[in-house]
Amino acid sequence: MLKWNAKIKNHRVKFLALWFLHTFKRRYFAVNFDPVLACNLRCKMCYFTDPEYVKTLKGQFSLSDLDIWARQSLPQALKLQVGCGAEPTVYKHLSRVFELGKQYKVPHISMTTNANLLQYDSLKNWIENGLNEITVSLHGVYQDTYEELMGKGDYNKFHTALQLITDLKKEYPNLLLRINYTFNEDNFTELKDFFNVYGKYAIDILQIRPISKIGNTAYNNFSLEKIIPLYDAFIKDFKQQAEKHQVTLLAPRQKEDLIQRKNDSSLIFNYTYFYVSPTHFWKKDFDWKHQSFRDYTRQIGWGKQLLSNVFKSKKQLRHLLRDQNLNYDVNI
């Protein structure tokens, strides 16, 4: 979908395609699912260290609600992303989530995790049920930084988990391992040693991205001033290291991207993004336990919205987005 989105430049064609996919019950949604709003760690950059925010994070899906979740969100899901704003591995029915993903034939199933609780048997079971990408989050190359920034995180357990995934990849060669490194002024310089420490693991993709302010977090230095003058030289060398290790690097291309804090979200993102957590089910007024997805989309005229966007100019669409209070920049 991302490749398709990048290739097609004309927004009218994109919305016509979405309308077609919706009308003919084809897959186009990226379902992002947090089955539980809890975490075993307290990373200092994350809202799990914001006491006020943590008060709002509660609840989990019961087994019976999982079946309804799947029926309502998976038939048209192109991708299922488990673990978005919390930690999926603390959820006791996680195996069932992947079983449902397989049952509904979702083509791409991914999980984002801090990896500290990963175990061989459960991981193997999830992979057999269709999990095809594991993204693990990392906030420090070395033990001191890792354990300082990822409160309650265990560096040795993290390495054990990476080795476990590396071993499982021999059995399941299609499984992808991705690392997300969120950088700030205190963990950036050690990134240059990333491949010395992690080069032995079978990493397919490495994404490095700057810290954002996502709450009143324990770590509150959001400045990139010390990083900006170093960035261009760093990224030139780092790209070469990634190529040598056959790792796909996703990173800000140059220091200007850090200065502008560029965000490449696409306009159609808002029409394909389907977020579910114990307190949120796609749209605010969707009575998902009692109303079918089809009835609800008919009620709100979802298909008509997609079709009418075909006839709107980029300017009108940008205004529409702003009215919907979406606080990211738009590239159509």
Q: How far is the CB of 182 from ligand SAM (least distance, A)?
A: 4
- Decide: is 114 part of the binding site for ligand SF4 (CB under 6 A): yes
The reply to whether 114 sits near ligand SAM by the rule CB under 6 A is yes
Span near ligand SF4 by CB under 6 A; candidates 43-51, 66-74, 141-149, 268-276:
43-51
Q: Binding to ligand SAM by residue 216, rule CB under 6 A?
A: no
DSSP code of residue 110: E
Q: How far is the CB of 136 from ligand SAM (least distance, A)?
A: 7
Contacts of 229 (CB under 8 A, 6+ apart): 255
Among 49, 73, 113, 297, binds ligand SAM (CB under 6 A): 113
Among 85, 160, 185, 312, binds ligand SAM (CB under 6 A): 85
Residue 42 interface partner, choices ligand SF4, ligand SAM, none, CB cut-off 5-8 Å depending on type: ligand SF4
Taking Cα atoms as reference points, which of 141, 126, 195, 199 lies closest to residue 166? 199
Q: Measured between alpha carbons, how far is residue 50 from residues 29, 151, 212, 215 in Å?
A: 31, 13, 14, 6
d(CA 37, CA 48): 10
* Among 4-12, 39-47, 102-110, 324-332, the segment contacting ligand SF4 (CB under 6 A): 39-47
Give the span between the Cα atoms of 28 and 46, in whole angstroms.
Answer: 30
- Kindly tell me the burial class for residue 170, based on how many C-beta atoms sit within 10 Å of its own C-beta (0-12, 13-18, 19 or more): exposed
Within 46-75, the residues that bind ligand SAM by CB under 6 A are: 46
Q: Which of 35, 83, 101, 278 binds ligand SAM (CB under 6 A)?
A: 83
> 3-state class of 227 per DSSP?
coil
* Binders in 192-211 for ligand SAM, by CB under 6 A: 211
Candidates 288, 289, 293; CA nearest to 303 is 293
User: Which residues 168-187 are close enough to bind ligand SAM by CB under 6 A?
Assistant: 180, 182
Q: Order the strands of the 77-82 sheet from edge to edge.
A: 248-250, 205-210, 176-183, 131-138, 108-113, 77-82, 29-33, 273-277, 280-281
For ligand SF4, the binding residue among 43, 90, 177, 251 (CB under 6 A) is: 43
Residues numbered 130 to 149 that lie near ligand SF4 (CB under 6 A) are 137
In the shown chain, the binding pattern of residues 136 to 155 toward ligand SAM, with x for contact by CB under 6 A and - for none, equals -x------------------
Under the rule (CB under 6 A), what is the footprint of ligand SF4? 39, 41-43, 46, 48, 86-87, 114, 137
